[in-house]
Amino acid sequence: MPLSDAACRNAKPAEKDYKLTDSGRLYLLVKPTGSKLWRMNYSFAEKQKTLSIGVYPGVGLGDARKARDAAKSKLAKGIDPSGGHVVSDDRKFRAVAKAWFNSRATGWVSSYSERIWARLEDDVFPAIGDDDVAEIEPSAVLKMLRTVEDRGALEMAKRVRQTVSSIFRFAVADDKAKVDPAAPLADAMKTNPRQKHRAALREDGLTDFFKRLHAYDGEKATRLGIEIVAHTFVRTGEIRFAKWTEFGEDRWRIPEDRMKMRKEHLVPLTPQVLKLLEQLREESNGSEWLLPGVEGYKPISENTLLFALYRMGYHSKATVHGFRSTASTILNESNLWRPDAIERQLAHVPQNEVRAAYNAALYWDERVRMMNWYSNFLLSKDTDLTDLLG
């Protein structure tokens, strides 16, 4: 019995998929999420295939039948009607994500908006960017998230899900989708046992570290970036999004929007670090970024430095963040520096000072001497001074 528009309109979701059949092998597939999808089964080249026609009610019963008839006409001519389901540009997930991003980015600091867009370009768009936002199923979103999890970035995968979910809710509000397929996936995400301490190098492992670092056969800029982190012990995001305009003759001025405590941070530049920066500038090809990515117009990806450490044999043995722990231990055990100066250089800000006035240059003279001492200490562990001698 042929379908009626009332039957399509009144179809309610059930626990499982079910079909409302029309004539000519056309049917409306009703999903548990509430989505209603037009499909048509057909045979071509001795294979059973299914044609995706569109989403109800955007594609009404009459239009679905016209599409079915057009498909049958192609079949009669020996043409596969599934030769390509064309999705209009404004309905692609990529376009909806761009509209969502533009509506929110004005309220974000630049470093945060850059991270969000890079996350979409790197992980999301390759998987679902060109799909009709209304036809994306939870399984497709989960498959995309699993690829992020599989590289060990479990917390990143959770943030990607949250971002994608927000985009789908935006699409629902804009009448481009009926449901948010990312919403039910929160409980499907893998969890990482919370580690009390990130893996860090001990003092007796520094000589071997520098040997491995100088033998690293990847990008020279990546190697130099790791070496700069070793000397400055900044956080990953602080060097990843660093721009050349932040560097002066004797200090690196990290803006507040990139700091964990949202306070500007100053890093004294030692002669060793200045030499590394000089070499790094030659590798940046005129980019505004200290560590530009492949395209040059955006920074390296989030895990570039970490994966380089993995290639050097430090998987589960050292992390980029771990250089902070290494420096803290060595500086404190030296008994040469006040703990408050060490904490300030680590950008650990007491809560009472967060609420009150903050002085980025507090203990500055001592911090300059301390950073020079620490660079020289690392130099004593480095048996290959190629990077620092030019």
Considering only CA atoms, which of 27, 77, 23 is closest in space to residue 53? 27
Please say whether the dihedral angle defined by the alpha carbons of residues 39, 43, 44 and 48, taken in this order, is positive or negative.
positive
Residues 204-223, mean pLDDT to the nearest whole number? 93
In the annotation, is 315 catalytic? no
Phi, psi for residue 308 in degrees, rounded to 5? -65, -40
Expressed in angstroms, the distance from the first to the final Cα of the chain is 82
Give yes or no for residue 84 having a pLDDT over 70: no
Integer Cα distance of 367 and 378 in angstroms: 16
DSSP one-letter string for 250-288: SEEEE-GGGSTTSS-EEEE--HHHHHHHHHHHHHSTT-S
Considering only CA atoms, which of 22, 20, 127 is closest in space to residue 72? 22
Among 321, 344, 367, 374, the one annotated catalytic: 321
Tokens 């033998």 belong to residue: 215
In the annotation, is 321 catalytic? yes
Integer Cα distance of 71 and 247 in angstroms: 63
* Cβ-based neighbours of 217, under 8 Å, separated by 6 or more: none
Among 49, 104, 260, 262, the one annotated catalytic: 260
Considering only CA atoms, which of 290, 283, 182, 282 is closest in space to residue 236? 290
Integer Cα distance of 117 and 125 in angstroms: 10
Say what the pLDDT of residue 193 is.
58
Among 31, 324, 344, 367, the one annotated catalytic: 324
In the annotation, is 358 catalytic? yes
Say what the pLDDT of residue 327 is.
92
- What does the domain layout of the chain look like in residue ranges? 5-86, 91-188, 203-389
Please name the fold of domain 203-389.
hpI Integrase; Chain A (1.10.443)
More confident residue, 133 or 348: 133
In the annotation, is 324 catalytic? yes
Q: How many other CB atoms are there within 10 angstroms of residue 156's CB atom?
A: 18
Integer Cα distance of 125 and 131 in angstroms: 9
Q: Are 389 and 241 in contact (CB under 8 A)?
A: no
In the annotation, is 348 catalytic? yes
Please say whether the dihedral angle defined by the alpha carbons of residues 61, 66, 71 and 76, taken in this order, is positive or negative.
positive
* 3-state SS track over 167-231: HHHHHHHCCCCCCCCCHHHHHHCCCCCCCCCCCCCCHHHHHHHHHHHHHCCCCHHHHHHHHHHHH
Among 216, 310, 358, 363, the one annotated catalytic: 358
Which helix H or strand E contains 149, and what residues bound it? Answer: helix 138-150
pLDDT category of residue 211 using cuts at 50, 70 and 90: very high
Supply the pTM of this predicted model: 0.52
Summarised one tens digit per residue, pLDDT across range 323-344 is: 999 999 999 888 888 888 898 8
Among 235, 240, 265, 367, the one annotated catalytic: 235
Among 9, 146, 253, 348, the one annotated catalytic: 348
What is the number of alpha carbons within 13 Å of residue 383 lying toward its C-beta?
Answer: 8
Say what the pLDDT of residue 192 is.
63
Please name the fold of domain 91-188.
DNA polymerase; domain 1 (1.10.150)
Residues 60-84, mean pLDDT to the nearest whole number? 85
Is 5-86 in CATH node 2.60.40.420? no
